A and B are shown apart, each in its own frame.
Chain A
Amino acid sequence: MKMRATEAFLKCLEEQNVDTIFGFPGGAVIDLYDDLYDSKTIKHILVRHEQAAVHAADAFARVRGEVGVALVTSGPGATNTVTGIASAYCDSIPIVVFCGQVPTGLIGNDAFQEVDIVGITRPCTKHNYLVKDPKELVATIREAFHIARTGRPGPVLVDLPKDVMAAKVDFTEPKPVNMRTYKPTYEPHPGQVEKACKTIVKAKKPVLYVGGGVIAANAWDELTELARSLDIPVTMTLMGLGGFPGTDSLSMGMLGMHGTYYSNMAVANCDVLIAVGARFDDRVTGKISAFAPHAKIIHIDIDPTSISKNVKVDIPIVADCKHALAAMNDYIKRNDSFDTAAEKEKHVPWLEQIKVWKNEHPLGYVEETDVIKPQFVVQKLHELTGGDAIITTEVGQNQMWAAQFYHFNHPRHFMTSGGLGVMGYGFPAAIGAQLAAPDKVVIDIAGDGSIQMNIQELATARHNKLPVKIAILNNSFLGMVRQWQELFYDKKYSSTPLETAPDFVLLAEAYGAVGLRATKPSEVEPVIKEALATDNTVIMDFVISREEGVYPMVPAGKATTEMLLV
């Protein structure tokens, strides 16, 4: 069927079940926006900065488990998306970013608002395309979604020259995408599954080390079954939080640089480490040679390049986490040599040992009566939302306190820029999350520094009547950097104090949102309650103890057992 390219574009999105896209217009995409205006199926959310469009699409994708979409113009519109794309790339989040481009005849001529965005984003996308021929538009869009969604998910960028979008194209009926050069492996090798299970059965001190792959693969049920059927304690990466219930007795919380004492001790002492959809990031491993030094390592990952990249793996399983875990559970059930009761019995001393570590150094902080402790705020947020809210974070101490103290019980409820660590992620992410799940309480746990990086999105939240809550843990510092300066640079607070800041309550009000402030511990609960009862966008400004630190902390490059404790 012949139709305008812009029409075909929208039909392609509909075919992918896209109902919401985030974007910002400009000359190169004005034709698309003309059609978008009339679309009945696709809601366009006008952000106030293109970076925010990408973060919002990223969080939308995480909450829904689908592909997020952003649309921007050429040149500056495109370059503004780069940080968002890089963050989605590091965290393996499926998004498709469409950029306008100058007409094909002008490409390469340094035309007005021309940048080689395909060149710029080549190293931070899973794949990208410049559509030079209108005939290829439809197939390219379908391929882009296919690549973003399948295998190890990731961002795909499609560059759309203005003349291509003004052409007529042939819209063909969709058929399954079949690419000769791209066929991810989903099914685990049965021999490797057997090897892994036989290794697990020999373990006296096993640990499950769980990353974002478990969430990407919707594998939390299979994971929980494996952990509970054999009583294997579970530790999670920042990206893995929610992959296993945080309040379960087998959960040890997060591991790594700001992980729990008992997670890091358990990994250092385990005899079998089962890594599931995790990538042995340096923030997790600390000094590599001291990471799980006594363990046989089993590694399940859909991306072969993740295996044995940083840490030599004994039993690799290249597969989708869900399929691999299901195969293992199945093997354990079918195989008579697996006496699950005996296995549980055998792990009792190990779980006891972990309990001892937990009692020695529980997650905690020094309570004070006259100043607000950030950890207390996060605990209260957990309590007053029943642990059911979707939490997004900015980056820095706020992010780590959220990870440590909001014990995530559900997958797809925690959105943070894990791999790239982008300040300014949390608020646009909260907007994306709220649009993906309108009935959920969505809270951005923020820092006073980071929130200023995308504060303009208050307009987006207000315009769309999104009851997003922002909880600023306000220490008037770029706190995480200050903490490093305190510990390793003689308290030389170079460029980290943020005394000059807006009055966040007035700022909220300037946008027509609600601003609330708490300066004493007794005000924390009333402020949160009032915020939760408001269906407007709310900023809660919690004035916290200024020089609070995040602990435990493994100094960069040290073994994860060399933790600085509270």
Chain B
Amino acid sequence: MKHKHTISVLLQNKPGVLSRVTGLFSGRGFNIESLSVSPTLQEKDVSCLTLVTSGEDAIIEQITKQLHKLIDVIKVTDISEKEYVEREMALVRVKAEPSTRAEILRIVDIFRGRVVDVSPKSFAVEVTGTGDKVKAMIDLLRPVGIQEIIRTGTIAMTRASKKY
């Protein structure tokens, strides 16, 4: 059975490290649905890369092992095997005419989004949430007239233990 997996990779921030990761995926025919990477700031020269992929269990096992085998990789966690929170963010520019402005604001409000840029003819709105939530807001805004969408990839974090 193919399943979606969110994998978190802690890596040393060395030149070319991202190509090692993406080259591994393209070279071995694994797919990447989304990828997001940034320095963690928690520790010097360490970045966290979150990627979403899908595959049979044996493939996912290979993906995590192969990632771990890369010399610059510190830690690989298949987050989806645990309790976790995931978020992505989108910036969406929609056509905003006097007749549609209220409607846009209502939709954005439902999704707890924010207007981050206003022009005479458009709004740019920001929304964060799970991929499904972001997609739902985009779908609702579509009839109004979307001009541009920029989405981050997913980032995710395991939930802390609830024990005292």
Interface size range of chain A in the complex: 10 to 19
B residues with a Cβ closer than 8 A to A are 11-12, 15-16, 19-20, 23-24, 27, 58, 61-62, 65-66, 68-69, 71-74
A109 on interface, CB distance cutoff 8 Å: no
A180 on interface, CB distance cutoff 8 Å: yes
A122 on interface, CB distance cutoff 8 Å: yes
Q: Are B65 and A122 in contact (CB under 8 A)?
A: no
* CB closest chain-B residue, reference A118: B16
- Shortest beta-carbon distance from A145 to chain B in Å: 14
Q: Are B69 and A304 in contact (CB under 8 A)?
A: yes
Interface residues of A in 289-310 (CB under 8 A from B): 303-305, 308-309
Partner among B12, B15, B72 whose Cβ is within 8 Å of the Cβ of A130:
B15
30 cross-chain CB contacts under 8 A:
A118-B16, A119-B16, A122-B16, A122-B20, A122-B23, A123-B24, A123-B27, A126-B71, A127-B71, A130-B15, A130-B16, A132-B15, A147-B71, A179-B71, A180-B74, A181-B11, A181-B12, A181-B71, A181-B72, A181-B74, A182-B71, A303-B69, A304-B68, A305-B65, A305-B66, A305-B69, A308-B58, A308-B61, A309-B62, A312-B58
* CB closest chain-A residue, reference B63: A305
* CB closest chain-A residue, reference B26: A123
A127 to B66, CA, bound (A): 13
A208 to B155, CA, bound (A): 46
CB-defined contacts of A181 to chain B, threshold 8 Å = 11-12, 71-74
Partner among B19, B24, B68, B73 whose Cβ is within 8 Å of the Cβ of A119:
B19
A123 to B19, CA, bound (A): 10
CB-defined contacts of A312 to chain B, threshold 8 Å = 58
Q: Are A305 and B12 in contact (CB under 8 A)?
A: no
- Shortest beta-carbon distance from B75 to chain A in Å: 9
A residues with a Cβ closer than 8 A to B are 118-119, 122-123, 126-127, 130, 132, 147, 179-182, 303-305, 308-309, 312
- Shortest beta-carbon distance from B49 to chain A in Å: 14
CB-defined contacts of A304 to chain B, threshold 8 Å = 65, 68-69
* CB closest chain-A residue, reference B67: A305
A130 to B16, CA, bound (A): 10
* CB closest chain-B residue, reference A116: B16
Q: Are B23 and A123 in contact (CB under 8 A)?
A: yes
Known: A123-B27, A181-B12, A304-B68; 9 extra A-B contacts, CB below 8 A, are A123-B24, A127-B71, A147-B71, A181-B72, A181-B74, A303-B69, A304-B65, A305-B69, A308-B58
CB-defined contacts of A180 to chain B, threshold 8 Å = 12, 74
CB-defined contacts of A147 to chain B, threshold 8 Å = 71
CB-defined contacts of A132 to chain B, threshold 8 Å = 15
CB-defined contacts of B71 to chain A, threshold 8 Å = 126-127, 147, 179, 181-182
CB-defined contacts of B58 to chain A, threshold 8 Å = 308, 312
- Shortest beta-carbon distance from A482 to chain B in Å: 32
* CB closest chain-A residue, reference B75: A181
* CB closest chain-A residue, reference B12: A181
CB-defined contacts of A305 to chain B, threshold 8 Å = 62, 65-66, 69
A360 to B66, CA, bound (A): 43
Sorted from nearest, which 10 A-B pairs have the closest CB atoms? A127-B71, A305-B65, A304-B65, A123-B27, A181-B74, A182-B71, A305-B66, A305-B69, A122-B23, A123-B23
CB-defined contacts of A119 to chain B, threshold 8 Å = 16, 19
- Shortest beta-carbon distance from B89 to chain A in Å: 30
A122 to B24, CA, bound (A): 9
A308 to B58, CA, bound (A): 8
CB-defined contacts of B61 to chain A, threshold 8 Å = 308
A113 to B12, CA, bound (A): 30
